[in-house]
Amino acid sequence: MKPVVAGTALLILAGTAHAGSMADPVVEPVLSPVVVEEAAADSSAPSAALVLALMTIAVFGAAAAGN
């Protein structure tokens, strides 16, 4: 029983010894938000409307082929 009590006491003392310090907290300076604007670049990728239209045709084509 004595080793359990001694172990518990050491555990409590070790836990409180590393709980914190008396040093003042370091506060980072507040920076103003930066807005980054990117110019729209020309893209060779198809537009979303074209992809949606092709997918719709593919779905209806698959459904018609199944009948």
- Residue 46's CB is within 10 A of a number of other CB atoms, namely 11
Task: Note the pLDDT tens digit of each residue in 6-49.
Answer: 888 877 766 655 556 667 777 888 888 888 887 766 666 667 78
Domain ranges of the chain: 2-66
Cα(17)–Cα(15) distance, integer angstroms: 5
Both ends of the chain: CA-CA distance in Å?
81
Q: What per-residue string of b and e applies to 1-18 under the rule 16 or more CB within 10 Å gives b?
A: eeeeeeeeeeeeeeeeee
Please tell me the number of Cα atoms within 13 Å of 52 on its side-chain side: 3
Give yes or no for residue 57 having a pLDDT over 90: yes
